[in-house]
Structure 1
C-alpha cells in the first residue's frame, strides 16, 4: 500500500541514497516512500548505511516500529533471526541451547507475540520433547540470510493480524524484480564450538534473475548449516516444600551432558511477475528441514535431600551428607522439525483503488519421533554443597567404572506434533479526500489451522526367552547378558564436566554407546509393546475470520491512522475421554508377555466454542520540529491461549509418588486481552543518529493461572485407587505492565559509531501471590531491565563491531517437577569483523558468547538452583562473495 499524501522532507530522498542492493522490499508494511524517478539511487553498503536505513524506516512509519535491514543483519554474528531481534529495544531472547530460540517483547512471554513471514504465519513443530505445542515461533528454523528486513510493530494497526500482546514481528524476504539481474551472494563459513570442539560448515547463497524488460524474475536461496551441540550442566530435578516448617529440600541431582547433531537445510524461492505498473504477482516457496537427533547422559544422585544430615541457609537445605542410590541414565532421541509454506501475493491497482489478494498454506511436522532411556544403578556415600556460584557434589562412587552400575530399567516412546494452516485474504486501499483522511483501507482474512500432538509409550517384555538363543526380553538382557554397564559394549569411554559448572567426583562419568542401546532396545531382535498415551493426545482446530477498516490521515505536521479489527474464532478441541480404571494407556502393538492395556470405556470427543473480539486502535505521529517526532498510540489487543492449554486432556503422572499429580487442559480458556498505550519522543539529530524515548502501558484483563482439583485414578501396579491433584489452566486476575524504552544511535564520525538501548519493565499480576500455588501472581517472560550496547568502526576496507546483550532475571513458567522456574541474569558479549578483500569478496571473523556466560535457572529463590548450563563460546571464520 502506498501513502501518496504523506508530507516528505528532503530526508525522504536519503532513503534512496542509503538502500543497498541487499535491502529490498518494504521496510515497513503500511507505508513505502517513493523517490522521484530522476533521483539517482546510489548503492551504499556498510554499518553506517544500515543505521541510516533503520532510522529512516522508524521515522516514516505510522506506528511505533523498530526495524533491521539486511545489511545490518549481515553484520551481526547471528545464525538465526531471533538473535538479530535481540538487538532491538524491548526484545529479549532465550538461549537454552546456546542459540536464540524464542523471544519476549515488552514483558510478554513468547506465546503472546506473533512472528509473520511476509505477513503470514509459518507452521511450527517444536523438536524438544519437553516443549508443548504453543503459539511461540521457533526461530532456529530460519537463518538470518533468508530475510531482507524485519520490523517489530509494538503498536498495532487494524490491517495487521491480531494475536499479539507484546509485539508483531514481520520478516520480509527479497524480491527478484528489486535486484539487478544476475545478483549473486554466496557465504562459506566454518564454525568452531568450544564445548563440542568441533568445526561445522555453513553454506548459504542466493541468485536472482529477471528478464530485460524487468517484468519477470526468479530468486533462489539456499542455506545448509550443521552445528554440533554439546551442553554441560548441573541439575536439581525439583525442590520439595515442607508444609510443616516452610523449608525446602532438593530432589535428585545430576550432571547432564546434552549432545546434538543439528543439521538445517533451508530452501526459498520467489517468482515475481509484473507485466504492468498496475499488476504484480509474487509466489514465495519455503522449505526448511532440521534434523536434531540428540542424547542426554546424566550421572544422578537420587534424592539426597532426604538425608538426615542437612545444613540450611535460611529455609533451603543447601548442604548434606549421607548414603543413597546413584544412577547412570542415558536418553537417545530421534528428533526433527520440518516446515514448508507456499504464499501467493497479488497486487492490482486502478485510478480509484488498489487491491491485494493473498492465498497460501503452511505445514510443519516434527517432534521426538523415538526416545529410549536406559538407567543403571549403584550405591554411594554422597555429600553436596550448593552454596556459591559453583556447586560441589561428590557421589562416593567411581562414575567412570562401568562395573559399579548394575542393570536397571528401560523406558521410551515418541511425541510427534503437526501444525497445518491454510489462509486467504483480500485488502483494499481507496484514496480519499475527506478532511484529514487520505485513504480508507479495509479487508477480510480467513485462516483454518489444525494443531495436533500424538503420544506413544513403549514397554519391554520381561519374560524369559524360551529358546535360549535370542535374548529379546529385557529381563534376560538386564539380569544376565548386560547386568552391568561393563558388558554388552554399552560404555565406550569416559567423559567429564568442567569445574566451572560443578565440582566434585560427580563430574566424572561414562560415555554411552547409543547405537548399541538402540540395537538392544529397538532392534530387530527386541521385543516391546507400543501403547497410546491417551491423556496426552489431542487435536485443536481453529477457524479464524478477521475483518478490519482503517483510515489513514495526514496534515502539514501530523499523520497517523485509526481503525478497528473484528476477530472471530471457532475452536474445536478434541481428545480421548476414557474411564479412570487404567494407566491411561491403550495397547496398539505387540502386547506379547504383557497384557493388553485398555480402559473400560474410550471415546474420541470434541468440545466446541466460539468467541469474537473487537480490537480498535489509533496511531498519531506529530512533527514537533523538523528533527523531532512525538507519537501517541492506543489499542486493544488479544492473544489466543496455547494449543496445549486448550486441549481436552487429563494426563496422570506417576501414581506411585507420595503426592501424585495430573495435568489437564481447559478448552474454555479465554484469550488474553490488553488495553495498551504508547507515548514516544524521537530526536533525529543527524541522518545516522537518533535518540528516542518511549513510555508504554498495558492493562491486562486476565492472566492465565492454575486451578487444582482432586480426581481418582486406578493404579494397575498396586490394584488400588489413588487420589491425584489435577492442575488445570484457568483465567485469573489481570494486571498491568508499565515500561520505558530509551535508545541512542550516534554516528561519531570518522568511521566510528555507537548504539545503545535500555528497557525498563514493571509487570504486575493482580492475582494473589501464594507460594503453595506455583506460578500464582507472576508474569512470564518479563525482565525488569534489558540493555543492548554496541560500538563499531568501519572504513572502505575494514569494519569491526562489538555487541553486548543483557537482561535481568525472568520467570519462565513451571519446571517439569511442578515448581517455579526462573532464569537468572544473563549477559552475552559478541564480536564481528569484516575485511573487504575486493569489492566483491570479504572475509568475516565472528565470536559468540565471548564471556562464556552460563544459563542459570532456579526455583524462586536464587539459593534453590535448578540448573546451570554451559554452552561455551563459538567462533566463525568465513568468506562472503557478492556479484
Structure 2
C-alpha cells in the first residue's frame, strides 16, 4: 500500500533524449544469451573451452571436478579448429556447452575477462530462453526458469547464498558480474546434480589460473549516468593471473576484484484498493444515492499516492584461487570468494487515502465509470493525508572458502573430494517519519495510461501548517547464515561397450540461519510537524504526470542519518532485540547417488545418456516466537509501547526423498540431436516460509483507521515435489549457428503459495484491530507446461562488412494450473506467481573489423505479481505486458584495448500493475535510463 512501511522518493531527470536516440539508431546489435567468452584461441582460452566441454558443458556438479563425456559426433576437433574471438567466440563456446552437455543446459560465457553481456547477473540471464526476471529499483533482481521461481544458485557447482530471513539462495543483484567467467543454467536434473530446485540450477563460474597458458592481466573502468537520478557512478575491475613450474609441481595463482557503484531513482504512482459498494449497508447505500448509482454495481478506490525513491548500490567482490598440480594424476584447487553488497533506498511517499474506511464523494461532482461499474474519475472530500520520509538500507557480506582435490590413480578411475564453508551476514535498517493532515478534496482520473490526481488542502500542500506529526517507525534486523559441506565422488570409466562410466558419490551439508529482528517500533508523535523541508516534485515521472504540485515533508537529510532522526524526534534509544524477535533454522542433508553413463554408437541412430538415482535424507528444525506489543496511552493522549509478551514456537521435521533421473540423447545426424529426459526433484521451503515468528503491534491513534498487515511463516510446510518430462531437438548447422525447440512438463505436489488470512486481535487496553496476515500454505497440486524455441546465427555468407551481421532470438510459452487461495473481486482463478505465459528476446549482433555491437529487446506478457499483496484489500496484483531495449557498441582500438558504450532501458519502459482486472490500476513505475562508457585492457 502507498502508506505502508516502504521508503519512497526520487530526484531529477536528464535531458539526454538526443544521445539515446543516436545510440539506439547506431546500434545494430545486441546483448546475447550466450554472448561472452574467452578469447577462444591461444591455449589459454582454447583450454578453457575444452575443459568446459569435458565437464558436461560447465563446472561439474561437485565443484571444480571435471566430468569427462564423449564428444558428440560431428563436433569439430582441435585439429580443424578455426581461431575466433569476440562475440563469435562467446557464442561458439556457449553453443558447444549446450551441444555436448549430458543434460539440457544453456549458458552465457564471458566474451572477455570481466565482460558478461550485462553488468547485472539477472539482466544477463533474461537473454536465455525460458527465463523471466523481475526488477527492483530498475535492475533485475529475481528470476524464474520455465515459470517457476524455485531456483537453486551455485558458485562453481557449490552452495552460494545471501544470509536473509527471506531466502535460501543468492540475491542475484549482489554479485558483480565482472568476477564471472560464465553462467550455466541446468533445466533438468540428473543424479549427480545437487537437489533442491523445481525449475533449474544456475551455476556461476569463476576463472582459475590453469584456464590460461601463462600470465594474464585485465582491467576495466566504467562510468554510468542515470538519467532519472541525474547522477553518474564509477566501476572498476582488475584480474591478475600466472602459473609456474616449480620443484613441487605446477602452481597457479589468480586474483580478481570488482568494484561497482550504481544509482537509481524509481517514481511510482499508486491507486489504493478498490471496494465495491454494498447496497445493504446504510453508509454504502447513502454513497450510491449521492453518486446517482442506486441499483448499479459501483466500485470505488479508497485513495491514491506517489512514491519518489532514489538510492544507491555498492558492490565489491574479490576472488582468489590457488591451483597446484604436483603430479599428472593429482590436482588441488583452493578458492576464496567474497562479495560485499550495500543497498540504500530513501525518499518520500505522499498519499490521500482512507484504507478500509468509507470514502466520501463530493456531491454534485462529475464521476465516470467503466462498463463494469469501476470508478474512472471523480472527486472525494475530507480524505486523510499521509506524508512519509523514509530510508531502507541493506548490507550483505558473503564469504566462500572451498578446497577441491582430484586424484586419478589409474586412467579409468577418478576420485574427487570437495570441502566448502560459507559464511554470510546481512544487516537491515528501516526508519520512517510519518506526518498527517486532511485533504479538502481529492480528484482522481485513472482512465489513462498514467493515473492523475489533485489534492487540495485549506492551507496548501506546500504550507507547513497543513501537517501534524503522526508517528515514527524504526526496525533493525540482522541475519547470519553458515553452510559446511563435504563431498566425495568417484567415477570409473570403461573401455568401449555400452556402459561408458559409473559415477557415485556422497554429500553432507549442514546449513544454519539465524535472524534477529526488533520488529517495527511504533512511537506516537503529536503536535505541529517540525524540521520540514520544501520538496519540488516538478520533474516527478519526468514531468509527464498530472499531479498536485510541491509539498512539505520531514527533512530527508535528517532521515538519512538514523541517529540524527531519533535525536530530532526525541527518541533516545534504539529498538531492543528481544528473544521474541529471534528465529533460527537448521537444515542437515545426507545424500548418496549413483549414475551410469552409457553410449550405443553402433545403432542406426547412435544414442547416449545417463540414468541414476539420488537419495536424500533431510532434517529441518525451526524456532521462533509469537510476539504481541501493546500500547500505553498517557492521560495527555501520548502513546508509547508496552513491554512485549511472547510465546516460543518450535517445530522439527525429517524426510527422505528418492529422486530418479534419466537423460537420453539421440544423434539423428552429425548436426541434429534429440534429447529426452525424465526426473523427479524436490524444492524445500525456504527459511522465511518456515519461520514461525509472528509479531502483532497495536496501532496508534494516527494509524487506527489504516490497513494493518503483518506476516509469518508456516513451520508445517512440506517440500514441493516435481515429476518432470523434458524434450529438446537441436540443430547445429554452423559453429555459431543453431536452432533448438524444447518442450517441458512438470507435475508438482505440495506447491507452496502465498495466502493472506485475516486475524482479529484485541489488545490489553481493549482496542481491537484486524490484521491481514501474509503466510504460506501447501496447495495440493500444480502443473507447468510449455515450450521454448531458440535460434542464433552469424550471416557469414553475406559479402564484405555485411558478414558481421548476426541474430539471436528466442521465445518461451509457459502455462500453469494451480489451486488459488481465496481472492476477493472478479478474479479468483490465478496462475502461478511471477509467470508470464509468453516472453521473447530479439537480439541483433554486428561484429566486423574493429566494431562489435548489440541491441537486445526483451518482452514478457502479463504475470501475477502476488495472489494477495499487503495493502490491497486481499486482491491479486498483475503486471501488464512490458518490454525493454538495451544496446551496446564496442570499438576494439587495439588487440589489447577496447572502448564500449552501453545503453540500458532505452525505451523508458513504464511498468504498470493492476488489481485483477485492467479497469483497476494499482502502480505505474518509472525507472532510470542508463548510459555507460567502459574502457578495458587485456594482456
SS in 1 for 2:147: coil
Q: RMSD across aligned C-alpha pairs, in angstroms?
A: 3.1
Aligned to 2:643: 597
The alignment status of 1:342 with 2:401, answered yes or no, reads yes
Q: Which stretch shows the higher mean deviation, 606-615 or 644-653? A: 644-653
Deviation at 1:731, TM superposition (A): 1.6
Q: How does 1:117-156 map to 2 (within 5 A)?
A: 117-125=155-163, 133-156=166-189
CA, structure 1 residues 584+644, in 2 after alignment: closer, same or farther (shift >3 Å)?
A: farther
SS in 2 for 1:47: helix
Aligned to 1:9: none
Unpaired runs of 5+ residues, structure 2, are 1-39, 61-66, 280-295, 633-637, 797-802
Aligned to 2:431: 371
Deviation at 1:515, TM superposition (A): 3.5
The alignment status of 1:583 with 2:632, answered yes or no, reads no
Aligned to 1:287: 338
Counterpart pick for 1:685 among 721, 733, 751: 733
Deviation at 1:241, TM superposition (A): 5.3
Aligned to 1:47: 87
The alignment status of 1:205 with 2:252, answered yes or no, reads no
Deviation at 1:145, TM superposition (A): 1.4
Aligned to 2:929: 873
The alignment status of 1:805 with 2:858, answered yes or no, reads yes
CA separation in 1, counterparts of 2:938 and 2:552? 48
Aligned to 2:546: 504
**Conserved? CA contact 2:607–2:665, under 8 Å:** yes
**Conserved? CA contact 2:45–2:212, under 8 Å:** no
Aligned to 2:262: 227
Deviation at 1:319, TM superposition (A): 2.1
CA separation in 2, counterparts of 1:774 and 1:284? 51
TM-score (norm 1): 0.88
The alignment status of 1:574 with 2:623, answered yes or no, reads yes
Unpaired runs of 5+ residues, structure 1, are 1-13, 127-131, 463-473, 587-591
Q: How does 1:666-745 map to 2 (within 5 A)?
A: 666-705=714-753, 713-716=761-764, 718-720=765-767, 728-745=775-792
Q: How does 1:541-580 map to 2 (within 5 A)?
A: 541-556=586-601, 557-577=606-626
Counterpart pick for 1:782 among 818, 822, 835: 835
Counterpart pick for 1:333 among 384, 392, 397: 392
Aligned to 1:353: 413
CA separation in 2, counterparts of 1:497 and 1:407? 27
Q: Which stretch shows the higher mean deviation, 772-781 or 282-291? A: 772-781
Aligned to 1:469: none
Deviation at 1:267, TM superposition (A): 1.1
CA separation in 2, counterparts of 1:700 and 1:501? 47
Deviation at 1:523, TM superposition (A): 3.4
**Conserved? CA contact 1:77–1:846, under 8 Å:** no
Q: Which stretch shows the higher mean deviation, 60-69 or 399-408? A: 399-408
Q: Which has the higher contact order (CA 8 A, sep 6+)?
A: 2
CA, structure 1 residues 368+318, in 2 after alignment: closer, same or farther (shift >3 Å)?
A: farther
SS in 1 for 2:199: coil
Counterpart pick for 1:389 among 432, 440, 449: 449
Deviation at 1:501, TM superposition (A): 7.8
CA separation in 2, counterparts of 1:38 and 1:58? 18
**Conserved? CA contact 2:626–2:695, under 8 Å:** no
SS in 2 for 1:625: coil
Deviation at 1:24, TM superposition (A): 8.5
**Conserved? CA contact 1:461–1:527, under 8 Å:** no
CA separation in 1, counterparts of 2:451 and 2:916? 18
CA separation in 1, counterparts of 2:542 and 2:385? 23
CA separation in 1, counterparts of 2:664 and 2:48? 31
Q: How does 1:626-665 map to 2 (within 5 A)?
A: 626-652=670-696, 656=704, 663-665=711-713
Counterpart pick for 1:514 among 556, 571, 592: 556
The alignment status of 1:320 with 2:355, answered yes or no, reads no
CA, structure 1 residues 512+407, in 2 after alignment: closer, same or farther (shift >3 Å)?
A: closer
**Conserved? CA contact 2:519–2:581, under 8 Å:** no
Deviation at 1:405, TM superposition (A): 2.5
Counterpart pick for 2:585 among 526, 532, 540: 540
Q: How does 1:71-82 map to 2 (within 5 A)?
A: 71=111, 77-82=117-122
**Conserved? CA contact 1:18–1:44, under 8 Å:** no
CA deviation string 1:510-543 (max 9, x = no partner) = 5753333445532396424625577764212111
Deviation at 1:34, TM superposition (A): 9.0
Counterpart pick for 1:491 among 503, 510, 533: 533
The alignment status of 1:610 with 2:654, answered yes or no, reads yes
CA separation in 2, counterparts of 1:97 and 1:725? 26
SS in 1 for 2:920: strand
Counterpart pick for 2:314 among 251, 254, 263: 263
Q: Which stretch shows the higher mean deviation, 830-839 or 352-361? A: 352-361
Deviation at 1:72, TM superposition (A): 7.3
CA separation in 1, counterparts of 2:448 and 2:640? 49
Counterpart pick for 2:794 among 720, 737, 747: 747
CA separation in 1, counterparts of 2:465 and 2:113? 52
Q: Which stretch shows the higher mean deviation, 319-328 or 826-835? A: 319-328
CA deviation string 1:551-590 (max 9, x = no partner) = 1111212211011111221111101156xxx42799xxxx
Q: Which stretch shows the higher mean deviation, 759-768 or 307-316? A: 307-316
**Conserved? CA contact 2:594–2:613, under 8 Å:** yes
Deviation at 1:795, TM superposition (A): 1.6
SS in 1 for 2:750: coil
Aligned to 1:28: 58
CA deviation string 1:789-816 (max 9, x = no partner) = 1111112311111111111111122322
Aligned to 1:129: none
Deviation at 1:255, TM superposition (A): 1.1
CA separation in 1, counterparts of 2:706 and 2:274? 14
Q: Which stretch shows the higher mean deviation, 538-547 or 412-421? A: 412-421
CA separation in 1, counterparts of 2:546 and 2:673? 59
SS in 1 for 2:690: coil
**Conserved? CA contact 2:113–2:218, under 8 Å:** no
Deviation at 1:20, TM superposition (A): 5.6
**Conserved? CA contact 1:233–1:257, under 8 Å:** yes
**Conserved? CA contact 1:842–1:879, under 8 Å:** yes
CA separation in 1, counterparts of 2:590 and 2:841? 38
Counterpart pick for 1:181 among 182, 193, 214: 214
**Conserved? CA contact 1:365–1:417, under 8 Å:** yes
Deviation at 1:505, TM superposition (A): 3.1
CA separation in 2, counterparts of 1:770 and 1:24? 53
CA separation in 2, counterparts of 1:808 and 1:288? 34
CA separation in 1, counterparts of 2:172 and 2:228? 22
Deviation at 1:677, TM superposition (A): 0.6
CA, structure 1 residues 185+657, in 2 after alignment: closer, same or farther (shift >3 Å)?
A: same
Deviation at 1:783, TM superposition (A): 0.8
TM-score (norm 2): 0.83
Q: Which stretch shows the higher mean deviation, 563-572 or 300-309? A: 300-309
Counterpart pick for 1:56 among 75, 86, 96: 96
Aligned to 1:299: 350
**Conserved? CA contact 2:492–2:503, under 8 Å:** yes
Deviation at 1:117, TM superposition (A): 0.6
CA separation in 2, counterparts of 1:862 and 1:22? 51
**Conserved? CA contact 1:458–1:528, under 8 Å:** no
Aligned to 1:437: 499
